[in-house]
Amino acid sequence: MSKISSLFRVPKLSYRVWKVWSRNKDVFMKTYKTNFLPSLLEPILYLLALGLGLGGFVQPINGESYIQFIAPALVAVSMMYSSFYECTYASYVRMYFQKTFDAIIATPITIEEVITGEILWGATKSLINSSIVLVVILVFGLIPSPLFLLIPPVSFLVGLLFSAIAMCFTAITPNIDAFNYPSFLFITPMFLLSGTFFPLTTLPEILQIIAQIFLPLTNAVNVTRSLALGNIQFSMITNLAWMLIVTPIFFVLAINLMKKRLIK
Amino acid sequence: MNQEVLVNAKNLTKKFGDLTAVNNIDFEIFKGENFGFLGPNGAGKTTIMKMIQGVSPLTDGKLTLAGMDITEHARKIKGIVGVAPQEDNLDPDFTVFQNLTVYARYFDIPKEKARTRADELLKFMQLEEKRDVVMTALSGGMRRRLILARALMNDPQILILDEPTTGLDPQARHLIWTKIRNLKKQGVTVILTTHYMDEAAQLCDRIIIMDQGKIIEKGEPVQLVKDHVGEEVLEVLNSEESMACLKQYFPDARIDIVEDKIQVFANKPRGILTKILEEASFRGALIRDSNLEDVFLKLAGRSLKD
């Protein structure tokens, strides 16, 4: 019992979390040109192949053309990918291969602050990458509503959620190759089954419920799509509430699992 | 002597599951001294360093630095301690200079001050030519120097050096030694671990010799050598005749056989051994100064630890 409660102990944090964030930002700024291109090209490829290519064979969905239906989902998917991979592979490299965390905790910064800084950085990556995708689909003329301006703040929240989940995997992974498991068993199914490429309502009801409750991306896709298309629904409140409740749980869990891994 | 105690450990204990890495030890480190922890791999040296740094919680006992309890004031203590770890954890994404300035930020050192200090330290460590080179382009010896420079960014009162010269070539080692001596002159208290006995003899005012988590001896290097193995050692090629003869000459001495040599620790004042060599002739006889390594091998035995 005490073991489980120790996994949910709320950490004490200070402004120093931003120093860890700054370290990652400084590295990012050195290489932003190479970081930039993939985030720019990937959505264009999807829009061309799926939106224009496949979309030509698909009937309009709820009155939207197929390309318009998937475009906001691509923004949400980039939030998930960028934050999840930042806090799995990239964080693991910093933690295990570069021993960056060891170097930082020898200074007045605590391990809790290091992990929080990493998660905040993962959320920032979500904001940056999804904003690039957002600009691409704006240029394609696929966003009819000015409410899209609310998507970047949402992307930070979605980024926090996926970074925190990712950090839990990083805390328990035996080695870097083992990230293939969450990647193929969690991220890829979510990419396909979260209302991204077809409306969830076409699935059997039980699968719809499972997707709503257990696939975080469903919430992100729904909120992003509603904002992009200017289609405000009550379900957005449920989606946001789900993320606001689940994020802190995984955040606290990630910190305590990491502490268990690193403080010996 | 009335010296200020800077680090004080009482009943210091660290367990990892069933393994007791540090077993109920006491020590005091005075302000301004060079203090060494010696011992083979697995003796518990690095574990002690990690506890002093405040990154590894104590299993039992009490540890204070500059009067502050490590368990309660870890953040404050980490602010006055500089750490040069055993493993290279420099930031490969940054240049030499940025490695220092980014690190300074973790200590809340203002940007301008950090830049000035970084340049001073690069000069001190003879790395100024490498200032804007990506860190991964440095040689092993340069990396150690950069790690040492980084450990000095916060102008620490206590400097922790975990195996500062392991794996370095002789030139690089001697350069690091010179820097450590300079730091001592500047009043920095240096705590180091090493398994090189010559390094400890060169650098340390006082040492603790550890084995399997326990202190097996402590004191000043020169005194320890004198007390345990005498000032000189006689080494002779191993043969039955020589052995018999030596046993006659030195009935009370410790006589070891190491590979093809006989070592005699007669614990006699300097000069006595020379006389004996004049009386009897031995094959391959050699008199040399005894050293800490002799002390260590006497205390810890010759068997491999791991």
A211-235 pLDDT per residue, tens: 889 999 999 999 999 999 999 889 9
Contact A26 B94 (CB under 8 A): yes
Q: Which fold has domain B5-225?
A: Rossmann fold (3.40.50)
Look-up: residue for tokens 């007669």?
B266
More confident residue, B272 or A41: A41
A105-142 pLDDT per residue, tens: 999 999 999 999 999 999 999 999 999 999 999 999 99
Measure the CA dihedral A201/A206/A208/A210, to 10°: 180
For residue B262, what are the β-bridge partners?
Answer: B236, B257
Q: How confident is the model at residue A260 (pLDDT cuts 50, 70, 90)?
A: very high
- Note the pLDDT of residue A1: 47
Q: Is the separation of the CB atoms in A71 and A45 below 8 Å?
A: no
- Note the pLDDT of residue B3: 82
Distance, in Å, from the CA atom of B141 to the CA atom of B118, rounded to the nearest integer, reads 18
Q: Is the separation of the CB atoms in B180 and B161 below 8 Å?
A: yes
Biggest distance spanned by C-alpha atoms of chain B: 73
| Whether A91 contacts chain B with CB within 8 A | no
pTM of the model: 0.92
Contact B75 A110 (CB under 8 A): yes
Enumerate the residues of chain A whose CB falls inside 8 A of the CB of residue B20.
Answer: none
| Whether B97 contacts chain A with CB within 8 A | no
Contact B57 A22 (CB under 8 A): no
Would you mind telling me the total number of residues written for chain B in this entry?
306
Give B224 to chain A, closest Cα distance, Å. 33
Contact B102 A104 (CB under 8 A): no
Contact A108 B79 (CB under 8 A): yes
- Note the pLDDT of residue A158: 98
Q: Is the separation of the CB atoms in B180 and B34 below 8 Å?
A: yes
Q: Is the separation of the CB atoms in B52 and A258 below 8 Å?
A: no
Enumerate the residues of chain A whose CB falls inside 8 A of the CB of residue B80.
Answer: none
- Hey, of A32, A94, A100, A107, which one would you mutate to test binding to chain B, going by the most B CBs within 10 A of its CB? A107
| Whether A56 contacts chain B with CB within 8 A | no
Enumerate the residues of chain A whose CB falls inside 8 A of the CB of residue B79.
Answer: 107-108
Phi-psi region of B158 (alpha: psi -120 to 50; beta: other; left: phi over 0): beta
**B231-289 CATH choice from 1.10.10, 3.40.50, 3.10.420, 3.30.70:** 3.30.70
Contact A106 B78 (CB under 8 A): yes
> Which value does ipTM take for this structure?
0.91
| Whether B302 contacts chain A with CB within 8 A | no
Domain spans in chain A, listed from the N-terminal domain onward: 14-262
Domain spans in chain B, listed from the N-terminal domain onward: 5-225, 231-289
Contact A100 B89 (CB under 8 A): yes
| Whether A108 contacts chain B with CB within 8 A | yes
Angstrom CA distances, A8 to A40, B15, B43, B56, stand at 38, 25, 35, 21
Q: Is the separation of the CB atoms in B182 and B276 below 8 Å?
A: no
| Whether A105 contacts chain B with CB within 8 A | yes
Q: What is the mean pLDDT of each run of 10 residues along chain B (306 residues)?
A: 86 95 96 93 92 95 96 96 94 96 97 97 95 95 94 96 90 91 94 90 93 93 88 86 83 82 81 77 83 84 60
Contact B85 A108 (CB under 8 A): no
Mean per-residue pLDDT, A68-85: 96
How much of chain A exceeds pLDDT 70, in percent?
99
Number of Cβ within a 10 Å radius of residue B212 = 16
Enumerate the residues of chain A whose CB falls inside 8 A of the CB of residue B147.
Answer: none
- The pair of structure tokens assigned to B162 is 């975990």
Contact A104 B106 (CB under 8 A): yes
The answer to whether B5-225 and B231-289 have equal CATH topology is no
| Whether A264 contacts chain B with CB within 8 A | yes
Enumerate the residues of chain B whose CB falls inside 8 A of the CB of residue A107.
Answer: 78-79, 103, 106-107, 154
- Interface A-B, measured as beta-carbon pairs within 8 A, has a size of 62
Contact A263 B57 (CB under 8 A): yes
